[in-house]
A and B are shown apart, each in its own frame.
Chain A
Amino acid sequence: MKLHQFIERHTWLLWFTLLLCLLIVFLLSIAIGPVNISLSNIVHAFLASSKSVDSTIILSIRLPVAVAGIIVGAGLGVSGAIFQAILRNPLADPYILGISAGAALGASIAQAFLLSSIPVSLSAFVGAIAAMTMVYLLSLSSGSSTPLYLILAGVAISAMLGSIMSFVMLMSNAMQIRIYSIMLWLMGGIKETGWHELIFVGATFIVLIVFAIFTAPYLDILSFGDEKASSLGVSVERTRLLSMTIAALLAGIAVYLSGLVGFVGLVVPHITRLIIGPSHKRLVMVSLFIGAIFLLISDLIARTVLKPVEVPVGVITSLIGAPFFLYLLLRTYKGYRF
């Protein structure tokens, strides 16, 4: 509680700290890799258009991965915060409404049958959004997309898509190799992305974040339940659909860039609430920073812990995220509320 009040009085300190932390991990993630690069060379690569080996590594490998890492982490953090509010459930995460199952099915269809004609990432993105749409329409058919119906429809659709995926894997020829590559994809890791693609994805990401920030105050109202929200002058169904679309697309982008990175979307909003409380106007903004920082740190660990082998970043986020989440749950018995 005292931390919240302190931050309330010194908001600039919060933003300054977050920016500084993000900058540090961003530079570290550019500097550290199979070949370590010094800070002066990084600065050099940015400022002068030198053709040295270091600048080539930075501009064509390290920088795109670091930028993608920020987009994935920030996107999952914000998406998780939105889903937890509209589902009125602190245990919700960006994948709960069928996104992970849809993405996994999309990815395995691409790997098993469409190899090389459609990229896995695109097929996963399409699968994720299609599954989410199905869940929404299914919940809507019960009259209104209340949080409970959404979660139930999400569970049902996820289970169904999961079993379809098992069939796909069984039916694919040359099974073993492809199943391995599907498994690797499912673990989640930042893929190397070209600049053209990254700029397009980044622009979409920024638009979505702007929407997320402006609609954040509505999340507070929605968390009071449909009837109270409606009595406060919010058109619940429309607002929920808008917020859900933003959150689903952010999660979809993350899936597109990195497969299924677990626990970021679940844990980041909780870490953020511990620091600044539950008010969503700030929660969305701070989750963005903390998500990005959390993912870049996890990626750094993933790249260095078994050097020269790179561990999928999703393994690390779950390894850090799951115990932290358990710790939060244990704290609820001692009075911490979400």
Chain B
Amino acid sequence: MYLTINSISFALNSTFKINGLSLEVDKGEMIGIIGPNGSGKTTLLKLIAGVIKPHSGTIVLDNRDMHRLKQRALARIRAYVPEAIDLPFDYTVYEMTALGRHPYTTIFSKHDEKDKIAINNALELTDIKQLSHRRFFTLSMGEKQRALLAMAIAQEPELLLLDEPISHLDIGHQLGFMNTLKSLHRNGITIISAMHELPIAMEFFERLCLLDNGCIVTVQHPESKELVKSIKQTFHISDERFIVRP
């Protein structure tokens, strides 16, 4: 197993907690996390990213206890794209992407050839090479998401975590972004992403993990009949047209 989450618990406040959650992910897998608002998708992603620590339980990443890894070392392995970044300053796309190289540079070193190649690769893989010198605030929502993705890809991660990356995009940009993720996945990156768009999630992910109230309801292949049934119960909907692809 590449990533093993071993009965982790975490309490955000008295009303919400993740209690003894376990999940296993293979190397190179593409997993979607779905669930109602407040079901714990974001908290689970932050726990996997290591930006918050569970009160109990362990996360084993590639046979190493994740919480024993140095932050810098971890930052070379996994990248995390939060749902919304409210930037106070107007960086260019290139400057932002270059910040993704932070785990590889020290305060005394400049970006070397290897860094420049990684930055260029990230811009090419996310299809925003032509926007390199544009400022972040001048970009459209779809372009902003790609810029944040490029910043994460510049970290050269094995594991990519995304929190509802397409929620604010139109359907065309949603599919475009998902195809980009798919091509990253083909390059061998393990992807875990929280999603709200069920039909799109069913189309693109290999497995879907359904969360409710801080617990995993089920982890299934998107084609499975049982998953559809669980989704209907969890979201309290009866009409299948909004869940499955026609």
Contact = CB atoms under 8 A, between A and B. Distances in A.
A89 B103 CA distance: 25
B51 interface: yes
Contact of B92 (A84, A226, A273, A277): A277
A337 B82 contact: no
B46 A227 contact: yes
Contacts of A232: 75, 99-100, 102-103, 155
A337 B102 contact: no
Interface residues of A, number: 31
Interface of A: 1, 5, 84-85, 88-90, 214-215, 217-218, 220-221, 223-228, 230-235, 273, 277-279, 337-338
B102 A221 contact: yes
A1 B135 contact: yes
A89 B80 contact: no
Contacts of A338: 88-90
A230 B49 CA distance: 9
B184 interface: no
Contact of A223 (B72, B78, B89): B89
Max chain A Cβ within 10 angstroms of own Cβ: one of B46, B50, B71, B76? B71
Contacts of A223: 87-89
B72 A90 contact: no
A22 B169 CA distance: 49
Interface string B88-112: 1111100100011011010110000
Interface string B154-191: 01000000000000000000000000000000000000
24 contacts: A5-B133, A88-B88, A90-B89, A220-B91, A220-B95, A221-B102, A224-B85, A225-B85, A226-B51, A227-B46, A227-B80, A228-B85, A230-B51, A231-B78, A231-B80, A233-B71, A233-B76, A235-B71, A273-B89, A277-B91, A277-B92, A277-B95, A279-B95, A338-B90
Given A85-B89, A227-B51, 9 more contacts: A5-B133, A84-B88, A88-B88, A223-B88, A223-B89, A231-B50, A231-B79, A235-B71, A278-B95
Interface string B108-140: 100000000000000000000000010101000
A233 B133 contact: no
Contacts of A220: 91, 95, 99
Contacts of A277: 90-92, 95
A337 B135 contact: yes
A231 B135 contact: no
Contacts, number: 86
Contact of A233 (B87, B89, B102): B102
A337 B86 CA distance: 13
A202 B85 CA distance: 39
Given A225-B82, A230-B71, A217 B102 contact: yes
B54 to A, nearest CB: 15
A228 B82 contact: yes
B74 interface: yes
A232 B74 CA distance: 8
Contact of A215 (B86, B99, B102, B107): B107
B143 to A, nearest CB: 15
A338 B90 CA distance: 6
A215 B99 CA distance: 14
B20 to A, nearest CB: 24
B75 A233 contact: yes
Contacts of B103: 232-233
B88 A90 contact: yes
Contact of B49 (A85, A88, A231): A231
B145 to A, nearest CB: 14
Nearest to B133: A5
Contacts of A233: 70-76, 102-103
A99 to B, nearest CB: 21
Nearest to B88: A88
B137 A337 contact: yes
Nearest to A89: B88
Nearest to B71: A233
Contacts of B95: 220, 277-279
A234 B51 CA distance: 11
Nearest to A213: B107
Contacts of B46: 227
A277 to B, nearest CB: 7
